[in-house]
Structure formats: structure tokens, C-alpha cells
Structure 1
Amino acid sequence: MKAILKIFGLIILLIAIYAGIAMLAYGKEYHYEKSVVVNAPREKVWQNVHSMAAFNRWNPWMKLDRTMKITYTGKSGQVGDRYCWDSKNDEAGKGCQEIKELVLNEKQKTEMTFLKPFEGEATSEIILSSEGNSTKVTWTMDTEQDAMMKVMRPMMDYQMGKSYKEGLHNLKVLVENR
């Protein structure tokens, strides 16, 4: 019994040490990005990123709840184009994403507001750059993290990597097979 208590105490101590190191080591700013090369010109890729409806055709989070309520407002493909989602599934949650900047065939910048399961804000960019006859698509996200999110950063990096990889794969397949 003493050995189990010692092991349990050691585990708690290690978790506390990791949490302290994570809070000190990780800055408040969080940046994540992932890229893929799509075998198509920028103009063709742009047709799949220029509006919120187009984005949602390959958005990996849309599959988390096929019954989530989606509401679009604003003019499609223009600054102010916005969609809000509301899901009973905590994995999908509730929030809104709005286009804040568009540079034709080059960049789409959005602002996201998360309401459930956690409140937060983030910005995201989809940047297109030519690579010969292909297009490099770079998808980014920037946000500020509180202390608890810093502790969870390795898990967040893993989840973001998985989701961004899936989304960029969806985009690549969508564009290349049209």
C-alpha cells in the first residue's frame, strides 16, 4: 500500500512540475500553421477558400456534428461574410467565424469567436502562393492562451495537427478532383 501511495504522490509531483514548467516556458501567444501543395493554379484553389460556404465544403470540423445548426450572414465571398455554428456536441461547440480581409487569389483572413465549450477568440489565415503550376496553401491560427491552455499545449498541437492535416487533405482532393 505504501508503494502505491509513493507512486501516486510521484505522479502528482511530476504533473505539478510539468504544469509549472509549461506555464513558464510557453508564451501567451499561440501560433499554429500547416501547409500543403495542391496541383492546381491559385485561381482554382481560391474558389474553395474565398467564402465561408466554400471553406465549409472542406472544413474538418463540419463532420463533428452532421446536425449542427449553421447560419450564414453577410455577402458571400466579401469582407463580413460570416457563419455561426451551434452544436449539441461539445467537440463542435458553438461560435462564429467572419472574413476580415480578402486579397484576391492570395489570402483570406478570418476572426473566430468560440462560445462553447470554451470561450475564446482567434484569427486564421489561408495564404495561397504559386509553386510552378501548383499552389502552396498555408493555413494558420493565432490566439492568446491562458495558463491552463499552456499546460494543454502539447495536446492542442496534436489536435490542431490532426484537424489541419485532414482539412488541407480535403481541400486538395476537392480541388484536384474537380
Structure 2
Amino acid sequence: MKILLKIIGIIIFLIVGYVVIALLAFRKNYHFEKSVVIEAPCEKVWEHIASTKEMNVWNPFAKADPNIQITYSGIQGTVGDAYHWKGNDEVGEGEETITEVIPNKKLSCNLHFIKPWEGVAKTKFILTPEEKGTRVTWAIDNELTTGMKLLKPMMDMQMGKMFGQGLDELKVISEK
């Protein structure tokens, strides 16, 4: 019985220790980015990220629910181009709107999450010419609530997985 109580005490100590460290160590401002080099010129890659419809061809977040409902608005490929999504519990509901377009170089967007939790974020795609093609960097920035700070390591893992899948698919369709 004493061993069981010691184990429970150690587990509680570790959990409390993690919470304290996470709250102190993890900043409120969250930034995550991932890059890939695509063997295609910027102009060819741009075709696949220049509008919300084109992004959703390879966007793993839009593919996570086969029954997702997407409604587009605005003029595709311009500031104001937007889409609203509504999906299962994994996908939730929200809106993404293009806020900046620098053809063949940069696309910035505002994300508004509605469900399962309310939140906002900014995303951007930066295209940089390289010797073997184009480096595409996909980034997201937002502010973490206290509760979300505790989940930051899991968020990094999930974002890395999803951004990796999306960039890999973007690479495949851009190199065709």
C-alpha cells in the first residue's frame, strides 16, 4: 500500500511540476512553421496556394473530414478571398480570409476558429526561389490561453504532422 501511495504521489508531483513549468516557460505568443523545397519555379507553386480553393486541394485540415462543408466568398486569389468551413469534431468550424497577396512571393491569411473553441490566428505562405526550385514556408501565429499553453508540446506535434502532410502534397502537385 505504501508503494502505491508513493507512486501516486510521484505522479501528482510530476503533473503539478509540468503545469508550473509549462505556465512559466511557454510564451503566450505561439509561432510554428515548416518548410519544404519544391522542384518547381515560384510561379508554378503559386498556382496552388494563390486562392482558398487551390489551397484546399492539398490542405490536410480541409481533408480531415470527408463530409466537410465549405462555402467560398470573395474573388479568388485576391485580398478578401475567403472560405467558411463546418465539419466534424476534429475539424470544427471557422473561417479563413486572405489579407495580403504578393504574387509568387507571399500570401497571408486571418483564421477565425468558431468551434470547438473560439480563437484567431494568422497564417502565411512565403515562397523563396532556390537553386533547385522554391522553398515554401507555411507559418502560423496566435496567442495561447493559459490552458492551451499546457498543450503546446502536443500542438507542436500535431502542427508538424499536418503542415508536413500539406507541404508534401503541395510538393507532389507542384512538381507534376
- TM-score normalised per structure 2: 0.97
* Farther off after superposition, 124-133 or 51-60: 124-133
Aligned counterparts of 2:131 and 2:155: Cα–Cα separation in 1: 34
Aligned counterparts of 1:170 and 1:79: Cα–Cα separation in 2: 25
Aligned counterparts of 2:8 and 2:75: Cα–Cα separation in 1: 57
Aligned counterparts of 2:72 and 2:2: Cα–Cα separation in 1: 60
Give the match for residue 144 of structure 2. Answer: 145
Stretches of structure 2 lacking an aligned partner (at least 5 in a row): none
> Which residue identity lines up with residue 139 of structure 1 in the other structure?
W
Shift of the alpha carbon at 1:10? 1.5
Deviations 1:90-117 (A, max 9, x none): 1101000000000011000000001111
Give the match for residue 81 of structure 1. Answer: 81
Give the match for residue 134 of structure 1. Answer: 133
SS, match of residue 32 in structure 1: strand
Aligned counterparts of 1:90 and 1:5: Cα–Cα separation in 2: 37
Aligned counterparts of 1:5 and 1:95: Cα–Cα separation in 2: 45
> Which residue identity lines up with residue 152 of structure 1 in the other structure?
L
SS, match of residue 58 in structure 2: coil
Q: How does 1:65-76 map to 2 (within 5 A)?
A: 65-76=65-76
Aligned counterparts of 1:155 and 1:65: Cα–Cα separation in 2: 21
SS, match of residue 111 in structure 2: strand
Displaced runs of 4 or more, over 2 A: none
SS, match of residue 61 in structure 1: helix
- In the alignment, does 2:46 pair up with 1:38? no
* Farther off after superposition, 75-84 or 129-138: 129-138
> Which residue identity lines up with residue 157 of structure 2 in the other structure?
Y
Give the match for residue 6 of structure 1. Answer: 6
Stretches of structure 1 lacking an aligned partner (at least 5 in a row): none
Give the match for residue 122 of structure 1. Answer: 121
> What is the CA RMSD across the aligned residues, in angstroms?
0.9
Give the match for residue 167 of structure 1. Answer: 166
SS, match of residue 128 in structure 2: strand
Aligned counterparts of 1:116 and 1:39: Cα–Cα separation in 2: 37
> Which residue identity lines up with residue 168 of structure 2 in the other structure?
H
Give the match for residue 109 of structure 2. Answer: 110
Give % identity. Answer: 49
Aligned residues: 176
Aligned counterparts of 1:68 and 1:4: Cα–Cα separation in 2: 47
- TM-score normalised per structure 1: 0.96
Aligned counterparts of 1:112 and 1:5: Cα–Cα separation in 2: 46
Give the match for residue 19 of structure 1. Answer: 19
